[in-house]
Amino acid sequence: MTDQGYENELRSEQEYVAGLYARLDAERARVKGRYNDTLTVRGNATALVERDAEARALAKEINRLGVADNGLCFGRLDSVTGERTYIGRIGIFDEENEFEPLLMDWRAPAAQAFYIATAASPENMRRRRQFHTRGRTVVDFTDEVFGRPGEGERGDAALLAAVNAPRGEGMRDIVATIQAEQDRIIRLDHPGVLVIEGGPGTGKTVVALHRVAYLLYTQREQMERNGVLVVGPNKAFLKHIGRVLPSLGETNVVFTTTGELLPGLHATAEDTPDAARLKGSRKILEVLKAAVADRQRVPQDPIELELTDVTVRIGADIVGWAREEARESGRPHNEARAVFLEVLTWALTERAIAKIGKGWLTREDKEAWENMRADLRTELAEYEGFAAAIEELWPTLTPEQLLGELLSSQERLTAAGAPQALYRAEGEAWTISDVPLLDELVDLLGRDTSAEEAAAERERKRQIAYAEGVLDLLVSRADHMDDEDHLFATDLLYGEDLAERFIERDTRELAERAAADRDWTYRHIVVDEAQELSEMDWRVLMRRCPSHSFTVVGDLAQRSSPAGATSWATMLDPYVPGRWLYRSLTVNYRTPAEIMAVAAAVLADFAPDVQPPESVRACGVQPWSRQLSIDDMPSAIEEFVREEAQREGTSIVIGPPGMPGTVPAWETKGLEFDAVLVVEPDHILDEGPRGAAELYVALTRATQRLGVLHEGPLPQALAGLAPRVDLSTAK
């Protein structure tokens, strides 16, 4: 193409994209107008609810149209017949012909060729054009013509520009540079569990997020009703990926860590490896059940209750009977307490009546017998000693109370058949491994909601009484005309109807409501760094998604948790045996070949059967190492930080846990930086297999530059690093 031809083409593309933005602005103005109109609607309670629902839907649409501003149109496909299709973040249709797209949504089936067409398999396409934009303006484009000799097959110009670009604070979407291997996974028509495994830099996280956006596009009604849950390894990672789905116009998503899966709990502390392994195993379920049963006691000595006319004794015989009846009810502990109380009350009143009425009262005198039973039941219900006895024999328990008292008592651990390795001092913070145990106990203990329900009913009746008073006041003040057809407020409305209008409604967005509700069930769940999740973590997640619709991404070679996955089948077969699908990503888009060669040597040491991903590029900068004394380490770290501050992009210093000026490797999982400095790799390795996996993670965070500081000899796997005398000699 000549320079003049290129200029003409660029001008034409700029005009077309400008027209798309004009249509976008017009549509956004129209939706905003409808949104403002809904806020002025007045009517009955039903109309107000419908108004709120419509307003929320319109607000979501305004947001979707707004995020499309960020690169609305990023490419064009030309078919062999000359038809042009523009590809973008959302679909825009011709005003006069709603079936004629001016811009094709990247998730639409017709857009797939943009991602999978190659010179070898052109999908009936002649050309793929990718736009480079600044704001709303197309400043450049690159073409790939299919089927011509000498033309590349992967469109590497746009891809390499993206992977070589300096990193910012958050992960970017890849809608313009999705590769064929990734696109096939994103569009998989599989309703159950999909496992995506890939080494560092293969894009598994961003593929999972784009798969969610694709599912929300193809199954919007079902997906939006219940929303999506995204589970990541830590808050830094969630912040890093948090922009991707909103940038694609999707907001019905809850982001959380495993330490926050129980609403109101934010656990970050970690257990010892032994305790984490024990708590993460499904075998802990028997311990929890035994711990609950241990709190359902039979008294060693009878408990005497001195009532007005008689003294009764709560003995092991009737308590044992009441306990058996309560357990056989199948209800959770707190709910079964009502059965226990009822049986025990019946047994005590029977004995009391027999004592009081001895010699003069028989069962044939049913009325007298039942009257006496009613009096005794009332007295027992009001007797503090009886309430104390019930609390001792069958206490109302919260998950936090039961687990806390179990773990801080060697006697209770023994009674529950639990190893003493679980013991910890009373009052210690909840750990990440405690969260699935607490969640399990919510179901084992159940909720005693009778008091809440009674309070709610009292409030409802109070509101109705107030509303009826308002209606009476309206009638008393009305101008009573002689017209027999005159209607009063009470002819049109009941107090209950009026009260219903003023009930406080939940106007929170779906994501906010879902995050606060332990019993919320999601339509789909994404699990990132899934190799770190324990068997008990998976129980929590499967409970949150009864349809078992999951996108699971991870890398078994990067597992550092002692309770994590050694195989995907171990974790998934108990829930979806033989019904989960596995796909792998093999191309590393993040880590340059020079750095991946170093990381691959570490991988070969601790996981020789695992094939490292193949890097798509080289950066021309060799990783380096520098040996120095421990006293000089802080100044060397500061020197690295100063050097990188002068460059565009991001950097980080990774070291063994507790080393000043560094972050541990596990906190960087899923993240990427332009430059990485690894400090004391041999100390990271000291933690055994977990340490080797964490060193592998640390080495594969860099997209451009990698350095290593060490005091002692380098680990053998890192012997190939080029030595540097000082940082100023490193590129």
Q: What is the pLDDT of residues 247-278, one digit of tens each?
A: 666 678 899 999 999 999 999 999 999 999 99
**Residues of the chain with pLDDT > 70: what percent?**
83
Token pair belonging to 152 = 């590349």
pLDDT band at 68 (very low <50, low <70, confident <90, very high): confident
Select the more confidently predicted residue: 561 or 175: 561
Separation in Å, CA 655 to CA 532, 642, 698: 20, 18, 8
User: What pLDDT was estimated at residue 644?
Assistant: 94
Q: What mean pLDDT value characterizes the chain?
A: 85
Mean pLDDT of the 201-212 span = 87
Mean pLDDT of the 70-82 span = 88
Three-state SS at 281: coil
Select the more confidently predicted residue: 431 or 68: 431
Mean pLDDT of the 17-29 span = 92
User: What pLDDT was estimated at residue 150?
Assistant: 36
User: What pLDDT was estimated at residue 384?
Assistant: 93
Mean pLDDT of the 635-654 span = 94
Q: Is-contact 617 229, C-beta < 8 A? A: no
105 CA to centre of own chain: 26
* CA atoms of 439 and 527, how far apart (whole Å): 18
In one letter, which amino acid is 361? L
Mean pLDDT of the 220-244 span = 85
pLDDT band at 164 (very low <50, low <70, confident <90, very high): low
pLDDT exceeds cutoff 60 at 474 = no
User: What pLDDT was estimated at residue 333?
Assistant: 97
* CA atoms of 650 and 668, how far apart (whole Å): 13
Select the more confidently predicted residue: 461 or 43: 461
pLDDT band at 508 (very low <50, low <70, confident <90, very high): confident
Select the more confidently predicted residue: 319 or 247: 319
Interval 116-159: pLDDT, tens: 887 667 888 888 898 888 889 999 888 888 754 333 334 444 44
Give residue 578's region: left, alpha or beta (phi > 0; psi -120 to 50): left
Q: What is the DSSP letter of 87?
A: E
pLDDT band at 56 (very low <50, low <70, confident <90, very high): confident
Mean pLDDT of the 440-456 span = 76
* CA atoms of 187 and 215, how far apart (whole Å): 8
Prediction pTM value: 0.78
User: What pLDDT was estimated at residue 542?
Assistant: 97
Token pair belonging to 274 = 């032994």
User: What pLDDT was estimated at residue 171?
Assistant: 47
pLDDT exceeds cutoff 60 at 181 = yes
The Cα diameter of the chain in Å comes to 119
Select the more confidently predicted residue: 250 or 218: 218
pLDDT exceeds cutoff 50 at 423 = yes
CA-wise closest residue to 217 among 112, 99, 107, 63: 107
Phi, psi of 41 (to 5 degrees): -70, 135
Q: What is the DSSP letter of 503?
A: S
Q: Is-contact 677 652, C-beta < 8 A? A: yes
* CA atoms of 188 and 211, how far apart (whole Å): 8
Q: Roughly what angle, to the nearest 10 degrees, separates helices 434-445 and 284-294?
A: 50
Number of C-beta neighbours around residue 197 at 10 A: 20
pLDDT band at 216 (very low <50, low <70, confident <90, very high): confident
- What DSSP string runs through 644-678? HHTSSS-EEEE-STT-TT-B-GGGGTT--EEEEEE
pLDDT exceeds cutoff 90 at 662 = yes
**Residues of the chain with pLDDT > 90: what percent?**
53
Phi, psi of 493 (to 5 degrees): -150, 140
User: What pLDDT was estimated at residue 95?
Assistant: 74
User: What pLDDT was estimated at residue 154?
Assistant: 40
366-375, 502-511, 593-602: segment of lowest average pLDDT: 502-511
pLDDT exceeds cutoff 70 at 611 = yes
User: What pLDDT was estimated at residue 373?
Assistant: 86
